[in-house]
């Protein structure tokens, strides 16, 4: 598919989606959301992609939220349809079987923060700014922010951010546990790609199993979570990657994982 609002590329097992509306600070309009959804479908069906990186075009913004020129025209029904569409797409992102890294290069506001929260972890530029400022528009986050942010940083910090609409710096986000690493702007993509390459060198079956076990167990009780882990561990043991990994260890060589998620 040809994209005009995102840039999608694949290199060395790493997929990259760049939100590409820099003049609008990469704001989420209907066309961008539709293209993002199509790209996620493409990624889900591509066995060659082991890791996905998300970032924004330009130096100012990752995604600066929903396109207010569209949002301002919605009635209640249109708002509900828009929110459900956004939630569906962001859930599709979170449910990808491969690891997803958000490289936040600037403003990640509203839907931008909500996209980043649905990735597996976040690297941020020192210039990154996070926030859910929808309260300032007389609305609330609609793409899952009221649910994912409290689960990540705690309910009280999340309530403060959402109730006040306050934006936080990258260093504050790091302190909250929202961000894994903060780097100088010019090093952001290099550091993100370096980590993505390490992940891409691992077995795809075990990456999928690890992500499923963590995500499936995080909101369950410990016993249920451990049961999910046992099943995921057992599935790994039947894969080509497990045979290769254990053989490589015993033979004192580097493992060459070539298994697929269909193992």
Q: Which 3 state secondary structure label does DSSP give 132?
A: coil
Does 134 qualify as catalytic in the annotation? yes
Instruction: Output phi, psi for 154, to 5 deg.
Output: 105, 150
Number of Cβ within 10 Å of residue 23's Cβ equals 8
Task: Please list the residues that pair with 14 across neighbouring strands.
Answer: 11, 51
In angstroms, rounded to a whole number, what is the distance separating the alpha carbons of residues 185 and 60? 10
Question: pLDDT value at position 71?
Answer: 86
In angstroms, rounded to a whole number, what is the distance separating the alpha carbons of residues 132 and 161? 7
Residue spans per domain, the chain: 6-200, 204-250
Question: pLDDT value at position 145?
Answer: 97
The catalytic residue among 42, 114, 126, 191 is 114
Say which DSSP state 72 is in: T
Could you read off the pLDDT of 113-153 as tens digits, one per residue? 999 999 999 999 999 999 999 999 999 999 999 999 999 99
**Tokens of residue 120, six digits:** 């597996």
Displacement of CA 32 from its chain's centroid (Å): 16
Question: pLDDT class for 69, splitting at 50, 70, 90?
Answer: confident
**Are the CB atoms for 103 and 123 separated by under 8 Å?**
yes
The catalytic residue among 59, 134, 172, 186 is 134
Topology annotation, domain 204-250: Lyase 2-enoyl-coa Hydratase; Chain  A, domain 2 (1.10.12)
Pairing verdict, β 100-104 and 107-109: unpaired
In angstroms, rounded to a whole number, what is the distance separating the alpha carbons of residues 156 and 169? 18
Q: What's the whole-number mean pLDDT along residues 56-71?
A: 91
Could you read off the pLDDT of 101-114 as tens digits, one per residue? 999 999 999 999 99
Q: What's the whole-number mean pLDDT along residues 253-263?
A: 76
Could you tell me which of 97, 121, 257 has the C-alpha nearest to residue 196? 121
Distance separating the N- and C-terminal Cα atoms of the chain = 28
Could you read off the pLDDT of 147-191 as tens digits, one per residue? 999 999 999 999 999 999 999 999 999 999 999 999 999 999 999
Pairing verdict, β 51-56 and 100-104: parallel
Does 95 qualify as catalytic in the annotation? no
Pairing verdict, β 107-109 and 129-131: parallel
Per-residue burial over 143-153, b if 16 or more Cβ lie within 10 Å, else e, is bbbbebbbeeb
Question: pLDDT value at position 134?
Answer: 96
- Using alpha carbons, list the distances in angstroms from residue 196 to 170, 189, 192, 200, 219: 21, 10, 6, 6, 26
Q: What's the whole-number mean pLDDT along residues 10-18?
A: 96
The CATH class of the 6-200 domain is alpha beta
**Tokens of residue 180, six digits:** 């894994």
Q: Is the pLDDT confidence value at 253 over 60?
A: yes
Could you tell me which of 145, 147, 105 has the C-alpha nearest to residue 126? 105
Tell me the average pLDDT of the chain: 94
Question: pLDDT class for 262, splitting at 50, 70, 90?
Answer: low
**Are the CB atoms for 154 and 162 separated by under 8 Å?**
no
**Tokens of residue 21, six digits:** 């509306």
Could you read off the pLDDT of 181-239 as tens digits, one per residue? 999 999 999 999 999 999 999 999 999 999 999 999 998 999 999 999 999 999 999 89
In angstroms, rounded to a whole number, what is the distance separating the alpha carbons of residues 231 and 247? 22
What pTM was computed for the model?
Answer: 0.93
Question: pLDDT value at position 141?
Answer: 96
**Are the CB atoms for 129 and 182 separated by under 8 Å?**
no
In angstroms, rounded to a whole number, what is the distance separating the alpha carbons of residues 5 and 228? 38
């Amino acid at each position: 598919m040809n994209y005009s609002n995102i840039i999608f590329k694949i290199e060395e097992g790493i997929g990259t989606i760049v939100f590409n509306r820099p003049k609008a600070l990469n704001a989420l309009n209907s066309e961008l959301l539709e293209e993002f959804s199509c790209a996620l479908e493409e990624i889900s069906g591509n066995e060659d992609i082991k890791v996905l990186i998300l970032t924004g075009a330009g130096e100012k913004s990752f995604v600066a939220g929903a396109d207010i020129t569209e949002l301002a025209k919605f009635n209640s029904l249109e708002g509900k349809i828009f929110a459900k569409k956004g939630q569906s797409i962001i859930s599709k992102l979170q449910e990808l079987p491969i690891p997803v890294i958000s490289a936040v290069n600037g403003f990640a506001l509203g839907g931008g923060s909500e996209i980043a929260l649905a990735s597996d972890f976040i690297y941020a530029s020192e210039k990154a700014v996070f926030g859910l400022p929808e309260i300032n528009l007389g609305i609330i986050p609609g793409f899952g922010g009221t649910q994912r942010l409290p689960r990540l940083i705690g309910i009280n910090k999340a309530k403060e951010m959402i109730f006040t609409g306050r934006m936080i710096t990258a260093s504050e986000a790091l302190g909250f546990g929202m961000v894994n690493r903060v780097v100088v702007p010019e090093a952001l993509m290099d550091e993100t790609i370096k980590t993505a390459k390490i992940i891409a060198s691992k077995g795809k079956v075990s990456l999928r199993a690890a992500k499923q076990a963590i995500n499936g167990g995080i909101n369950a009780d410990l016993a249920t979570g451990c049961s999910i882990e046992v099943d995921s561990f057992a599935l790994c043991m039947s894969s080509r990657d497990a045979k290769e990994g254990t053989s490589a260890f015993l033979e004192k060589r580097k493992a060459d994982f070539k298994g697929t998620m269909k193992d």
